[in-house]
Amino acid sequence: MIPDTYYLIPLKMFGICNLSVVPCKKEPSDKSEMVTQLLFGDYFQIIEVQDNWCLIKIAYDDYICWIDRKQFLPIEQHTFDILSSTESYCNNELVQIIMDNRTSTLFPIVIASSLPNFDKAECAIENQSYSYEGSYITGHLPNSKIGIIETAMMYLNTPYLWGGKTPFGIDCSGFTQMVYKLSGIQLKRDAYQQAEQGETLSFVEEAEPGDLAFFDNEEGKIVHVGIVMDDNKIIHASGKVRIDSFDHQGIYNNELRDYSHRLRLLKRVV
């Protein structure tokens, strides 16, 4: 329920993330938990406004959350429509320096950040342009199963962060979403949403590298996801992005000498 104190603003209002990383909150408060993040180039529709907060719907995965109204660049609907109809380039390095050509200031962007309206070594957002040097990809990396595992390994040892999507902190579904994004495949944001995508596999023996494994809690709710590897291994974000043993029961943590997650189902999206 949206409180009566909220007011509706015109749906023609849109925005784009022009900062490195922006926290997205469950409620319109600095004290509220972070549920996801915007990376540079992520664009969205503004649904509601309350005081200094905007309720947004992220274009990439339809995720709805709150952001500080000072932490994005407003854009026109025609810009939003162009972004929605064209494929963005992606940053292919863990961290890359980008320059705001208007102010000549430098700031970092992280891997999987989008580079909209790309032209040579620049990306443009309406009347603002940004230049950078380094590695980027035209569209996305090849979506081969080997490619997915190689991309996943770039995040190895990233610390766990609830709602995170960067090499400085990431959660389990943010990890799978970003790895798949770099492979040209769109996943929803949360683990239970991702579990609704793709083809269900019947047995662990059917799973191949790059497939997704989902895990539930005692109430039967899907609360965790990881990426299947060769040799009965899985890479996932739990404490940090790590590699553990994996079988029909779930994830076996060698340090704990016990199962840490109970397998619910397997999905093939590629």
Query: Active-site residue 172, yes or no?
Result: yes
Rg (CA), the chain: 19
- Nearest to residue 173, comparing CAs of 184, 158, 162? 162
Query: Active-site residue 224, yes or no?
Result: yes
- Active-site hit among 65, 90, 123, 172: 172
Query: Active-site residue 248, yes or no?
Result: no
- Active-site hit among 24, 54, 90, 224: 224
CA distance readout (Å), 65 to 94, 161, 235, 242 = 25, 17, 28, 28
- Active-site hit among 17, 123, 236, 261: 236
- Using a 10 angstrom Cβ sphere, with 0-12 exposed, 13-18 middle and 19 or more buried, the burial of residue 255 is exposed
- Nearest to residue 175, comparing CAs of 105, 227, 120, 222? 227
Identify whether the C-beta of residue 267 lies closer than 8 Å to the C-beta of residue 200: yes
Q: Where are the alpha helices (DSSP H) in the chain?
A: 77-85, 145-153, 172-182, 191-194
Query: What's the start-to-end Cα distance of the chain, in Å?
Result: 37
Catalytic residues: 172, 224, 236
